Structure 1
């Protein structure tokens, strides 16, 4: 029997298969229902929900070129989860939205990353949508977005007024570029310099550009959740689009500024390569990229060593990079020989 919807280019059966795939991987009974269901954990006195939605920008274009789709879902989860962690909330659940011209093996690969990201965040994947939209997308084209929700006590939210002059700033390392600035990254490497994903630059320690650029965004749940539980964080900034200049001031109250020494933490080779081949000014790099730090915390000086010891138990990933000072003319002061 003819299927007019399939004749129009939409394979409904492929959507059913995707639902079954996610059910098998997550053991979730709610996947495939009309809405995801989540029961708020017991024990909260005045719980508040913190939510975030985000995508991965033009980084996803590289997954098609490299034919590697199994990590971009981690990026999507990370971009949402890291935002709610920066508000002081503990990740609880996540939903994804994937749209494409044709549902095929790449969607399962993308969802493997989503599932892995949820596991890293200790968040439940309670639902999502996979939309086949021929005419809007080519067969190989797709987009992905996500929505995450976290929970915390109302009086434990990380608010601007929690931060005081003299608070120490601790930076936690990133895994690379994360999921921001890729339109510029692609222009520098693939348009202006005619490199490709298999190019091995001398600055990148033997790895190809593809391997470096598709490194997934670091998820900071394991680092921040224990610190939040011990009330050791006064504020946090997720360093995403806009780099240091846009994101660090977002956690500060009026009248205070962040003073940061950029010489403290090691620079990842990818940023040196971007600056070299893009002919970028150093200060512009801090306006665009995370420069090797994906999260910046404000903590009380008396808790500085305790926080550093906890973060650096297995390897050194956190550094004291500065302090909160009285604001003069700007709310972010960068200093150091690198500038």
Structure 2
């Protein structure tokens, strides 16, 4: 039993015993994520991981960090906290897999107004689920109680991940050529970007998130809280099966900001706009907010959570590998010569 207790600290609004209870409750979720390489137990000052570098000539560590953003306000309003952890993991691991790295481990950080052990454990359950989907371990984290700074029910969830790839296998746009095929990996909806605009358009603070929408086949709140897809396993399978020349995680900034990040000068990602399979939530958002189409494609993923650019002769192999991992990818466009990095035609 931990005998640590401070009445003075508790009087200031910080309950350290609630923190201990939260750690106890989250342990079963963390245990789901244990993979070979995990060295330390939960609760130490640092998370230890011993990577397996067998077969690698020059192992390179790749890191990524992000948070859930204002999407977590939807979770707070709905009092549903078991999925935003998936978003938190997704926003990190989907970034680092873009260079071909396999995520190894993840750590989270929860700032909360009042430490509710059950709520914290529920948040961590989502993080653990995200780690399971990504094939990485949750080896540590931190919960910080912020009385007087945050409202009691408020929290902010963020984290970071570290992965590894052999230097010679890092995905590089230097191999990209005219005629390469752009594949779309479908999103589950809005994912975790642009929620400040979403909250304004749908007036979530005063609106009815529980109203059922026929076009969505679910309530508005359920649609807005749908977790971000984690693409790690499908993308790694595509890399193993095909010649991958570029990968973009379509996050904030949409097509116009994220596709150019993997396209070299002199080449253009030409997207067939008619080919984009757009989920119903996006037209609903666009109509309700009177948002110009270009702004939609410059803010949201519009149904494309990630793009993978492959050589034309291995495109079918990539599609087969992606579909074998449950990802119904499809052809979105091609790489052409051009000064603009991305064109939607």
Is the shorter-chain TM-score for this pair beyond 0.5, marking a shared fold? yes
Aligned to 1:51: 63
Contact 1:74 1:114 in 2 (8 A): yes
Distance 1:147 1:2, change over 3 A: closer
Measured in 2, the distance between the counterparts of 1:51 and 1:262 equals: 33
Contact 1:265 1:319 in 2 (8 A): no
Aligned to 2:37: none
Of the candidates 11, 14, 17, which is equivalent to residue 10 of structure 1?
14
Aligned to 2:132: 119
Aligned to 1:84: 96
Q: Does 1:240 align with 2:251?
A: yes
Please list, as runs of the form range in 1=range in 2, the aligned pairs for 1:166-177 lying within 5 A after superposition. 166-177=179-190
Aligned residue-pair number: 332
Alpha-carbon offset, residue 222 of structure 1: 2.0
Moved >6 Å (runs of 4+)? none
Measured in 2, the distance between the counterparts of 1:313 and 1:129 equals: 36
Aligned to 2:334: 323
Alpha-carbon offset, residue 334 of structure 1: 0.4
Measured in 2, the distance between the counterparts of 1:191 and 1:304 equals: 42
Measured in 2, the distance between the counterparts of 1:94 and 1:312 equals: 26
Measured in 2, the distance between the counterparts of 1:315 and 1:298 equals: 19
Please list, as runs of the form range in 1=range in 2, the aligned pairs for 1:75-154 lying within 5 A after superposition. 75-104=87-116, 105-154=118-167
Which runs of 5 or more structure 1 residues have no equivalent in the other structure? none
Distance 1:15 1:91, change over 3 A: same
Please list, as runs of the form range in 1=range in 2, the aligned pairs for 1:1-339 lying within 5 A after superposition. 3-27=7-31, 29-43=40-54, 44-104=56-116, 105-190=118-203, 195-205=207-217, 207-230=218-241, 232-313=243-324, 317-328=328-339, 330-335=340-345
Alpha-carbon offset, residue 316 of structure 1: 6.5
Alpha-carbon offset, residue 270 of structure 1: 0.2
Alpha-carbon offset, residue 314 of structure 1: 7.2
Alpha-carbon offset, residue 21 of structure 1: 2.6
Alpha-carbon offset, residue 232 of structure 1: 3.2
Measured in 2, the distance between the counterparts of 1:11 and 1:262 equals: 53
Measured in 1, the distance between the counterparts of 2:224 and 2:278 equals: 16
Alpha-carbon offset, residue 26 of structure 1: 2.5
Measured in 2, the distance between the counterparts of 1:248 and 1:239 equals: 7
Judge which range, 140-149 or 263-272, deviates more. 263-272
